[in-house]
Amino acid sequence: MTGRLTSKTALITGAARGIGRAQALRFAQEGADIIAIDVCGPIESVNVPHSTPDDLAETAHLVEQAGGRIVTDIVDVRDADALRVAVDRGVEQFGALDIVCATAGITSRGAAVELADASWRTMVDVNLTGVWNTCTAAVPHLINRGAGSVVLISSIAGLRGLVGVAHYTAAKHGVVGLMRSLAHDLAPHNVRVNCVHPTNVDTPLIQNDSVRSGFRPDLDRPVTRDEFAAAATPMNMLAIPWVHPVDVANASLFLASDEARYITAITLPVDAGSTQR
Ligand SMILES: NC(=O)c1ccc[n+]([C@@H]2O[C@H](COP(=O)([O-])OP(=O)(O)OC[C@H]3O[C@@H](n4cnc5c(N)ncnc54)[C@H](O)[C@@H]3O)[C@@H](O)[C@H]2O)c1
């Protein structure tokens, strides 16, 4: 099927790589114009290798190759003013805004009682306040339009507790609370708000030494992709270690499209059964 988002414009944060890039490409394949935002640089207290301006340029290239239109901006979602300027600029370019995907996010690890204050604060600033900033920059445009869909990328950690990521889990649960309140506030404006909750996704966020070794504390050396896969598979009901960015993009696409016109305030797992295990 093509054309499920024809004549629509989508704002996507975290669009330089991973899930955000997959959303940009998938939405463009369905006819949407894309406003793509990413920090494209390091975030303090995070030791996952960071994305770069080249990554964001590659997203733009892929969207254009698919026949789509895209504007990109390098912005930190913690910077509410810069975000508003970038969103307004994108909306001016394409004429309106219909869809918002708050996808930008970080991860780091640490036992709950040992987490450094800075780790906690940065996590909440990016993964919760950054989502709030994205909504406040974008929602006025959806209200002007009299319709819209907001998709917040949470995690299975927004539905259950996980070991070693109390700050991430708290922020991702916070995103659910934000979604539930916003859905009430925006329903009179015909704007829907939903969350997507992925299990592990095969992206740089998890495919790095820090996360891999968190899954295999028994190994005192770098953990291979296969060793990580073996440890990650039992988390899921289906016999897979992780889903792929396009799986999360497809769920986001459904929620963003008119096929989901009466769906709001839901938590949609893309989790291979993980949360029911
Ligand atoms: N990969 C997983 O296993 C997984 C599972 C569940 C949920 N998620 C969530 O999905 C979202 C996307 O993750 P991903 O796996 O694609 O990760 P990723 O690291 O591949 O991509 C995340 C992107 O967000 C950007 N970003 C980070 N902080 C930012 C900031 N302050 N401002 C702007 N951009 C920023 C990064 O630069 C990066 O390009 C995150 O919110 C993450 O928590 C991921």
Digit-coded pLDDT (tens) for 144-187: 999 999 999 999 999 999 999 999 999 999 999 999 999 999 99
Pairing of strands 99-102, 267-270: unpaired
Ligand 1, atom 43, lies closest to the CA of 105
If we measure between CA atoms, which residue out of 145, 151, 155, 159 comes closest to residue 182? Answer: 151
Mutational pocket test of ligand 1: of 12, 37, 38, the residue with most ligand atoms within 8 Å of the beta carbon: 38
If we measure between CA atoms, which residue out of 59, 74, 137 comes closest to residue 102? Answer: 137
pTM above 0.95, yes or no: yes
231 is written with which tokens?
Answer: 């440890």
> For 256-277, what is the mean pLDDT?
98
Question: What digits encode the pLDDT tens for the residues 126-136?
Answer: 999 999 999 99
If we measure between CA atoms, which residue out of 226, 204, 106, 69 comes closest to residue 215? Answer: 226
Contact residues of ligand 1, CB 6 A cut-off: 13-14, 16-20, 38-40, 43, 50-51, 76-78, 103-106, 126, 130, 153, 155, 198, 200-201, 203-206
Nearest atom, ligand 1, residue 102 CA: 41
Chain centroid offset of residue 56 CA: 15
Buried b (16+ CB within 10 A) or exposed e, 94-129: bebbbbbbbbbbbbbbbeeeebeeebbebbbbbbbb
